[in-house]
Structure 1
Amino acid sequence: METGISRRGLFGAGAAAAAILAGAPGLARAASGMTLRWWGNNGWEIRIGAKTILIDPWLTRFKTGTYTSAGADPHTPLSVNKALIDGYLDRGYLHADHILVTHGHYDHLTDVPYLAERTGATVIGTETHLSLMAALGAPEDQLSIATGGEDLTFDGYTIRVLRSLHSATGPRARVAFPGTRSLSRRDRPRVIADLLEGGTLAYVVSGGGASVLDFGGANYIESELAGLRPDVVLLPPGGAKVTDYVPRLLRVLGNPRCVAATHWDDFDLPLGRAHDPNGGLEVLRKAVAAASPGSEFVVLDHLGEFTP
């Protein structure tokens, strides 16, 4: 079952009411105290009571050429649209107690240092991620290192950190902008090629009677997922080089109730213009339907939200 939620509907009425009117059975059930909002790419806002967890928030979305035939220009300068971010913060759209970073690429990490500064959130990532963010000006006392395997409890929610893998593409199944760097380095990243993958993490966030598992890339370590039964999986399209990418994943997770598409839009376009540049969303929808027909397939527009 596929759920589509219109951004126009969400802005024209209360979020929950608009989603029910749009025919979203997940919201109509009101089964949990967790609400998820999609900020485009792999950017997610998870609200549990008064607490908010952000994953890979990237609102700036500058042009890189990623989805053109030439691919991303590695010399694209990094930029942060502080006025855009401030506008959402000042209107009460954004808050954060934690910010979780899945990997170090520009479309996941660039805005995090400024968001950490503005919100005071604790940021979790690998040594490379923290090094990059410190060099970009993130408050260092808010950075918390993770390697995968951490199981953390906070007021009203838990965060479980999993070792994971980045998408591998092309005939040689290569990872874009690979590499690591140590916390001792302070040279400031200038262009997108400076933001290294730096190891990839996945996260399970639980609270309010629900749990959500997020992957920032189209790959995973199956042994890390054994025994997990999340209510929602945030799953990117792709995985062409990963053996049985969708069926193997959903099988090991026990066929979760909801699979929400993530990281499917052309992020060279600004927020409010969610566009699938290569048809990956439909491929993912069909793969989920074939592998786990009982799972609800959720597709949101930018700033759309749902309650599992």
Structure 2
Amino acid sequence: MDTGLSRRGLFGAGAAAAAILVGAGPAAASPGTSRMTLRWWGNNGWEVRVEDKTILIDPWLTRFKTGTYTPAGADPQTPLSVNRELIDGYLDRGELRADHILVTHGHYDHLSDVPYLAKRTGATVFGTETHLSLMAALGAPEDQLAVASGGEDLTFDGYSIRIFRSLHSATGPRARVPFPGSRPLSRRDRPRVIEDLVEGGTLAYQVTGGGASVLNFGGSNYIESELAGVRPDVVCLPVGGAKVTQYVPRLLRTLGNPRYVAATHWDDFDLPLGQAHDPNGGLDTLREAVTAASPASEFVVLDHLGTFVP
């Protein structure tokens, strides 16, 4: 298992530098000099802090068991749940906050905690019409929901958010999207089990501020033409992509070989927060692909709640 450093080590002095591991060499990467800090909350959950502003991407702290990494795969009838006590603890201690929450797609491991987090933080939430329909049905305050289609380039106080049309991972021998589907914003029946949280279109997000930019993909696929001329300092790259032609080299070439490639969506999310574990070797496969395609890029692996400064 390669989880970076221990969680304890990430909260001491020099945490930003210590949290980075390099796939292409034995030495730790030099920390950046921006005023942006990235923190990984497991799965594709990321916190982007630009001075006193915070943007969350796909925050999912609850991490209930579904059987995802068993031979049978996730049980579609697994009931949805939100661990409010866990979330409240982080919020009440000031370890978690949000001005914006960005949803890449509608699956349970990306969306199911967002309605509660939106209610507690007052954050504005971006997502597709399907995502907003799901979140409203789960109790998100509707005046905080903002529909996105991809193509938006929005400026806020100290940071900007650019939204791209994207694609979900294609899995299995038929290259299918798990739990596909969409629903109109007017629909209000409450999702009960994980298969009710349909993909509903996939978005990618670039957050820029504090002298740096980070581009996040919630699935191991993308639309290459959408990314022409995009040059992030950090790309959060999910493991997988086996069905996508030249998944890693084509993307990194399109993005101009970013300085940092941060691994995301690689851990076993049937395990609770604080137990980052690579269940199937996807992390090593991704590292090797990044090293081969863009040896000058630094491969970043964080433990849960690990941080670094690009």
Q: Same fold (TM over 0.5)?
A: yes
Deviation at 1:141, TM superposition (A): 0.1
In structure 2, the CA distance between the partners of 1:79 and 1:286, relative to structure 1 (3 Å rule), is: same
181, 194, 203: which is aligned to 1:192?
194
Which moves more between the two structures, 17-26 or 293-302? 17-26
Q: Secondary structure at the match of 2:73?
A: coil
- Counterpart of 2:24 in structure 1 is none
> Which amino acid letter does the alignment assign opposite residue 94 of structure 2?
G
CA root-mean-square deviation: 1.5
Task: Name which of 57, 60, 77 aligns with 1:58.
Answer: 60
Q: CA deviation at 1:27?
A: 7.6
Deviation at 1:19, TM superposition (A): 3.8
Counterpart AA for 2:189: D
2 CA distance for matches of 1:260 and 1:5? 15
2:293 to 269, 291, 294: 291
Is residue 139 from structure 1 mapped to residue 141 from structure 2 by the alignment? yes
- Following TM superposition, by how much is the alpha carbon of 1:79 offset from its aligned partner in structure 2, in angstroms? 0.1
Which residue is equivalent to 2:214? 212
Counterpart residue number, 2:10: 10
Q: Could you tell me which runs of 5 or more consecutive residues in structure 2 were left unpaired when the two chains were aligned.
A: 22-26
How much does 1:18 deviate? 2.9
1:6 positional shift: 3.0
Paired position in structure 1 for 2:90: 88
Q: 1:285 to 1:23 in 2, by over 3 A?
A: closer
How much does 1:29 deviate? Answer: 3.8
Do the aligned partners of 2:16 and 2:309 also contact (CA within 8 Å) in 1? no
Match of 2:39 in 1: 37
Q: How far apart in 1 are the matches of 2:90 and 2:241?
A: 33
The aligned counterpart of 1:128 is 130
Q: Runs of 5+ in structure 1 lacking a partner?
A: none
**C-alpha deviation, 1:26, in angstroms:** 8.3
The sequence identity of aligned pairs, in percent, is: 81
Shift of 1:10: 1.9
- Call closer, same or farther: CA 1:290–1:27 in 2, change over 3 Å: closer
Letter of the aligned partner of 1:18 in structure 2?
A: A
Q: Which moved more, 1:221-230 or 1:29-38?
A: 29-38
The C-alpha deviation readout for 1:40-97, integer Å capped at 9, x for no partner, is 0000000001000000000000000011100000000000000000000111110100
Distance 2:271 2:162 in 1: 32
Question: TM-score, normalized by length of structure 1?
Answer: 0.96
Q: Give the deviation of 1:271 after TM superposition.
A: 0.5
Q: Is the 1:27–1:306 contact (alpha carbons within 8 Å) kept by the matching residues of 2?
A: no
In the TM superposition, what is the alpha-carbon distance from 1:21 to its structure 2 partner? 5.0
CA contact (8 A) 1:127 1:182 kept: yes
**Matched residues, number:** 304
- Kindly indicate whether the alpha-carbon contact (under 8 Å) linking 1:288 and 1:295 is maintained by their aligned counterparts in 2: yes
Instruction: Give, in whole Å, the separation in 2 of the partners of 1:22 and 1:142.
Output: 34
Q: Give CA deviations for 1:243-262 in whole Å, capped at 9, x if unaligned.
A: 00000000000000000000
Residues 1:20 and 2:17 aligned together: yes
In structure 1, the partner of 2:308 is 306
Distance 2:111 2:270 in 1: 15
Offset, 1:22: 6.1
Which AA in structure 1 matches 2:17?
I
Distance 1:4 1:92, change over 3 A: same
Q: AA paired with 1:46?
A: V
Amino acid at match of 1:6: S
Paired residue secondary structure (1:300) = coil
Q: CA deviation at 1:7?
A: 1.2
- The 8 Å contact of residues 6 and 300 in structure 1, kept in 2 or not, is answered as no
For 1:258, the equivalent position in structure 2 comes to: 260
Equivalent residue, structure 2, for 1:109: 111
Match of 1:75 among 74, 77, 88: 77
Say which SS state the counterpart of residue 162 (structure 1) adopts. strand
DSSP-derived class of the 1:233 partner: strand
